[in-house]
Amino acid sequence: MTAAAPSRTAPPTSSLAASRRFGTFATTFSLCGPIAYCLVQYFNLPLLTYWPATGRLVFGYDGGRSGEGPNMLWYGWILTAILIVTGLSLLATMLPERIIRKIPLALIWILPILVIPYIVYSLMPWWIMAAK
């Protein structure tokens, strides 16, 4: 069907792309990433909290403080999620190949779609205020 065959290339020349172990790391990282991010956000586990109005950076979660403006947890959530999935991915590289092969790769693109309802739900305060 694909006379132009745009997506076929020669085997990878980069050692990283040719490495099976990196493949396991990359697929586990992306597979667990969206779930880890949503869990970190749900349990509110930021690695750091940033106060943009005062430029203050605090490790871990830091709630509201009078006179310092709003805090930002997003950076902290991403960093925590990256730390968790890096750990999981490193563990996955130690698993036998036959177990890794059983993981359906389609989950990598299905899971980000499945978490959308949770993301929408987590933003409920915005939608409630918009509806008033």
Using CB under 8 A, list all residues that contact another protein.
1-12, 14, 16-17, 22-23, 25-27, 29-31, 33-34, 36-37, 41, 50, 52-59, 62, 69-70, 72, 74-75, 77-78, 81-82, 85, 105-106, 108-110, 112-113, 115, 119-120, 122-123, 126-127, 129-130
Closer Cβ to another protein, 7 or 66, answer by number: 7
Question: Taking Cα atoms as reference points, which of 42, 47, 35 lies closest to residue 78?
Answer: 47
Given its phi and psi angles, is residue 60 left (phi above 0), alpha (psi -120 to 50 degrees) or beta? left
Closer Cβ to another protein, 96 or 126, answer by number: 126
Least separation in angstroms between residue 55's CB and another protein is 3
Least separation in angstroms between residue 40's CB and another protein is 10
